[in-house]
């Protein structure tokens, strides 16, 4: 809805107010300030017709009379500290009202106000439009742009982070290619540097794939067609995907726990989440240690499935545990880059859990290891199973064989 249309709608509503018989009723200031519900507004307007018009607007609305006293104000106008008692108290908005009365022209401005009176509590970022609507009345429309500003900042940070992360493998590939070109007459030299180029290209491919996965999750359409997911199959597939990497570090994989549990969701995404947890555990574990994945029902709520990945790695300091799920955050940047980590794996796990109505928990002690637990709502017993586990996930026989071989 454009500003001009919005102003016309408000003008029509206020015109109905003027025609209503209740305008003749003298209300106290306290009653006018409290007129925020539909019923109170109807009493103020003197007609039911104005109520749905005003209520349909997404913007915060303030209507002033010819003495600049508040006739009607949305509750959020007080939350934004624009209105207090009967008056507009925010200086920028008050100045806009004065300019409208002096010039007769609508005013638009971006206004930043403090969140409450406590210093450091943050700010609201508002888009404000002030216009006259006849008979000395002034309309103030306020749109809260705080969330949009925050999302835009996140997007800028994300683009900056992606650009930074892409520079490393792309720059390495370029440098290696130039080096290979210079030593083209030495087969051993070319073979060595070609292997390094493949490693960097592989890392670049993983980074791009994880960015695509994270974008898909953030778009909110990942679970457009949820299916019944067998957790045994998910764990077996995830273990198989990281087996080569684990063998390369002489890490023993162990899988076990409660069998036969199912959830509803996207099998590929849940498998990716478990694989990412296993991959993270392997990267941050010392050589010749053990990584285990266990499935269980929650001790307090049997309708909750818990998939725990336990390692004997370096652990995570307490002050960094809240940040490990941030995009591109690494506890040990040198180790992560050396092993091909992108810094996106745990962020993907967090989004997968949220999209399935679950969460991810972390326990960690430096020097002792970490436990990441994917927590998902269980498929209720007796609920109709209207779809089979997704194609591409191993069958029950294959899952059992894979889980046994992991141990």
- Write out pLDDT tens, residues 161-219: 666 667 767 777 878 888 787 777 788 888 887 887 887 787 777 777 767 776 666 66
Separation between Cα atoms, residue 382 and residue 395, nearest integer Å: 22
Share of the chain above pLDDT 90, in %: 38
Contact, 204 vs 170, CB < 8 A? yes
What's the pLDDT at 121? 57
- Write out pLDDT tens, residues 212-255: 776 666 665 556 678 999 999 999 999 999 998 899 999 999 99
Does the pLDDT of residue 368 top 70, yes or no? yes
Q: Which residue has the higher pLDDT, 47 or 148?
A: 148
What's the pLDDT at 24? 40
Would strands 83-84 and 227-230 be described as parallel, antiparallel, or unpaired?
unpaired
What's the pLDDT at 359? 93
Per-chain mean pLDDT for the chain: 76
Grade residue 3 by pLDDT with cuts at 50, 70 and 90. Answer: very low
What's the pLDDT at 189? 82
Separation between Cα atoms, residue 391 and residue 94, nearest integer Å: 63
Separation between Cα atoms, residue 51 and residue 296, nearest integer Å: 53
Does the pLDDT of residue 393 top 80, yes or no? no
- Edge to edge, the sheet with strand 290-297 lists 252-257, 290-297, 304-310, 369-377, 359-365
Does the pLDDT of residue 149 top 50, yes or no? yes
List Cα–Cα distances, 157 to 33, 160, 269, 315, in angstroms: 42, 5, 25, 27
What's the pLDDT at 17? 40
Domains and CATH numbers, the chain: 52-145 (3.30.450.20), 223-381 (3.30.565.10)
What's the pLDDT at 224? 64
- Write out pLDDT tens, residues 326-350: 876 766 554 444 444 567 789 889 9
Separation between Cα atoms, residue 108 and residue 92, nearest integer Å: 11
Per-residue tokens: 275: 């694989």
Whether this prediction's pTM lies above 0.75 is answered by no
3-state secondary structure 177-231: HHHHHHCCCCHHHHHHHHHHHHHHHHHHHHHHHHHHHHHHHHCCCCCCCCEEEEH
What's the pLDDT at 154? 63
Lowest mean per-residue pLDDT among 122-126, 202-206, 389-393: 389-393
- Write out pLDDT tens, residues 268-322: 899 999 999 999 999 889 999 999 999 999 999 999 999 999 999 989 998 888 8
Does the pLDDT of residue 325 top 90, yes or no? no
What's the pLDDT at 216? 67
Grade residue 152 by pLDDT with cuts at 50, 70 and 90. Answer: confident
């Amino acid at each position: 809805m454009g500003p001009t249309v919005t102003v016309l709608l408000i003008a029509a509503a206020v015109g109905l107010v003027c025609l209503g018989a209740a305008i003749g009723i003298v209300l106290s200031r306290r009653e006018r300030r409290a007129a925020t519900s539909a019923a109170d507004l109807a009493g103020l307007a003197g007609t039911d017709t104005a109520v749905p018009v005003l209520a349909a607007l997404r913007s915060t609305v303030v209507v002033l009379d010819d003495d600049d006293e508040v006739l009607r104000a949305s509750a959020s106008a007080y939350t934004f500290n624009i209105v207090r008692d009967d008056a507009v108290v925010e200086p920028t908005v008050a100045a806009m009202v004065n300019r409208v009365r002096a010039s007769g022209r609508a005013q638009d401005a971006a206004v930043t106000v403090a969140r409450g009176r406590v210093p450091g509590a943050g700010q609201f970022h508002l888009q404000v439009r002030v216009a006259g609507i006849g008979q000395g009345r002034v309309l103030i429309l306020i749109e809260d742009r705080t969330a949009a500003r925050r999302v835009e900042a996140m997007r800028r940070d994300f683009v900056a982070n992606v650009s930074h992360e892409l520079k490393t493998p792309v720059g390495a590939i370029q440098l290696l290619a130039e080096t290979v070109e210079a030593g083209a007459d030495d087969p051993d030299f070319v073979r060595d540097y070609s292997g390094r180029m493949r490693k960097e290209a592989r890392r670049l491919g993983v980074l791009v794939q994880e960015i695509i996965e994270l974008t898909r999750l953030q778009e909110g359409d990942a679970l457009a067609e949820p299916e019944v997911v067998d957790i045994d199959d998910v764990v077996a597939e995830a273990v198989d995907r990281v087996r080569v990497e684990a063998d390369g570090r002489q890490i023993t994989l162990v899988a076990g726990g409660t069998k036969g549990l199912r959830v509803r969701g996207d099998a590929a995404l849940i498998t990716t989440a478990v694989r990412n947890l296993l991959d993270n555990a392997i990267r941050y574990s010392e050589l010749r240690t053990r990584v285990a994945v266990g499935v269980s029902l929650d001790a307090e709520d049997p309708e909750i499935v818990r998939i725990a990945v336990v390692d004997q790695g370096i652990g995570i300091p307490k002050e960094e545990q809240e940040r490990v799920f941030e995009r591109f955050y690494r506890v040990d940047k040198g180790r992560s880059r050396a092993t091909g980590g992108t810094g996106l794996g745990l962020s993907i796990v967090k989004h997968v859990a949220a999209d399935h109505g679950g969460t991810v928990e972390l326990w960690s002690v430096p020097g002792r290891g970490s436990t990441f637990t994917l927590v998902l709502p269980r498929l209720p017993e007796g609920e109709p199973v209207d779809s089979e586990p997704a194609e591409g996930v191993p069958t029950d026989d294959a899952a059992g064989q894979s889980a046994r071989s992991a141990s």
